Amino acid sequence: MTLKEQIRQQALELGFDACAFTSARPPDHAREFENWLQDGRHGEMAWLPRTAEKRVDPDKVLASVKSIITLGVNYHTAAARDGAVARYARYFDYHDILALRLKTLADFVSRTVPGARSLWYIDTGPLLERDFAQRAGLGFIGKHASLISRRFGNWILLAEILTTLELEPDAPERNHCGSCRRCLDACPTGAITAPFQLDARLCISYLTIELKGSIPEALRPAIGGRIFGCDDCLAICPWNRFAQEARLMAVQRRADLDTPDLLELLALDEPAFKARFAGSPILRSKRRGLLRNVCVALGNIGDATALPALRRAASDPEPLIAEHARWAVGRIEARAAVVK
């Protein structure tokens, strides 16, 4: 087998569902990314401008880098439906699941040629990973600005290995969106402002995960019952008809997060929150962030039975939770007054 074939076989044996190769030349959409930052559409994600120079030049991430190995892991399950928690977060944290496997593969790559160096990331490194994944042929960037795989639809997690080895690039994937604009029409907040243009400041995933402070009141109603992320633009994509059942991720699924009880979550203190979400991506939101989101969801879809819990939350020592709880109480009371 060629070295590429050996690497791909090793990747599949480790549990990855796709493995493709591209050069480490600057990403194709570097200028668009820089303009996006200049427009402030990244919101409060300060690490993006801080690492922008590296993101548009892989050589600043790993000196003398020649190739990027892009990897995909399918996380689709037919049992999952749209819900309060984004589908990827209804598993144990994929960073933990993939880390050892990715390190093993990177070590294998480095050992193949004496002196070769490799560096791996699971969507945590300063890379425009979707650009490289498309250029490697792993999938194509859709109008919602996420990667779509013709094999797995929208349900694919990405990882990369940068290496000083020069590996023959695979053929890039071309866009297959055609005239479809379902993702634009499905976005509850209009965050996809034009095809391939995302304003993170309006995105529900940003608002419920990356934004650490108060959610703008004007955007709260559109969040509906969501408490961690949003799949609307992904779930509506017609390429999902080709989605396959997850292989590696199947045993990591947490079915308890398909339909979580919001009132139960609102009652969690700090130790209970950490115990409930140990090993879950939701842990990164911290108690203050998750309960902020729960309050907003209850304000949108809750009824009078939620008022006692929300009134208790309005006195929570954490000001962020208390403020959103008071807003939720007002929303439910206003709906009840209209009914009367």
Contact 190, 202 (CB under 8 A): yes
Has residue 240 been placed in a domain? no
Can you give the pLDDT at residue 251? 92
Residue scoring higher pLDDT (83 or 309)? 309
Question: And the tokens for 274?
Answer: 């950490």
CB atoms within 10 A of CB 333: 13
Residues 137 and 16 in one domain: yes
Has residue 126 been placed in a domain? yes
Given 163, 185, 206, which residue is the final one in a domain?
A: 163
Residues 144 and 281 in one domain: no
CATH of the domain at 312: 1.25.10
Provide DSSP, 263-322: HHHHT--HHHHHHHTTTSGGGGGHHHHHHHHHHHHHHHH--GGGHHHHHHHTT-SSHHHH
Residues 15 and 156 in one domain: yes
Given 148, 163, 178, which residue is the final one in a domain?
A: 163
Average pLDDT rounded to a whole number, residues 37-47: 97
Catalytic residue among 57, 59, 82, 123: 123
Can you give the pLDDT at residue 113? 87
Q: Alpha-carbon torsion 189, 205, 201, 176, what sign?
A: negative
Residues 152 and 20 in one domain: yes
Residue 335, CB half-sphere, CA atoms under 13 Å: how many?
A: 15
Can you give the pLDDT at residue 336? 86
CB atoms within 10 A of CB 145: 19
Has residue 220 been placed in a domain? no
Residues 11 and 145 in one domain: yes
- Range of weakest confidence among 73-87, 275-289, 292-306: 73-87
Distance (Å, whole) CA 334 – CA 340: 10
Can you give the pLDDT at residue 338? 75
Residues 7 and 115 in one domain: yes
115-148: pLDDT as tens digits? 999 999 998 899 999 999 999 999 999 999 999 9
Residues 148 and 288 in one domain: no
Residues 139 and 16 in one domain: yes
**Residue 232: pLDDT band by 50, 70, 90 thresholds?**
very high
- Range of weakest confidence among 106-115, 127-136, 206-215: 106-115
Can you give the pLDDT at residue 277? 97
Domain tally, the chain = 2
Question: And the tokens for 70?
Answer: 């892009």
SS3 148: strand
Nearest to 270 by CA among 318, 314, 227: 318
Has residue 57 been placed in a domain? yes
Residues 158 and 266 in one domain: no
Distance (Å, whole) CA 147 – CA 142: 6
Given 120, 141, 163, which residue is the final one in a domain?
A: 163
- Range of weakest confidence among 29-38, 106-115, 158-167, 230-239: 106-115
Has residue 326 been placed in a domain? yes
Has residue 155 been placed in a domain? yes
263-296: pLDDT as tens digits? 999 999 999 999 999 999 999 999 999 999 999 9
Has residue 186 been placed in a domain? no
Residues 26 and 139 in one domain: yes
Q: What are phi and psi of 85, to 5 degrees?
A: -115, 135
Can you give the pLDDT at residue 340? 59
Q: What residue type is 107 in one-letter code? A: D
Can you give the pLDDT at residue 234? 97
Q: Which residues contact 210 (CB under 8 A, 6 or more apart)?
A: 43, 44, 45, 200
Distance (Å, whole) CA 89 – CA 93: 7
pLDDT of residue 339 exceeding 80, the answer is: no
Has residue 194 been placed in a domain? no
Cα–Cα distances in Å, from 305 out to 224, 299, 334?
17, 12, 14
Full domain range(s) for residue 112: 3-163
Distance of CA 95 to the CA centre of its chain: 12
State the pTM of this model: 0.94
Residues 156 and 267 in one domain: no
**Residue 1: pLDDT band by 50, 70, 90 thresholds?**
confident
Residue scoring higher pLDDT (123 or 75)? 75
Average pLDDT rounded to a whole number, residues 307-328: 98
131 an active-site residue?
no
Residues 133 and 14 in one domain: yes
**Residue 80: pLDDT band by 50, 70, 90 thresholds?**
confident
As a whole number of Å, the end-to-end CA separation of the chain is 74
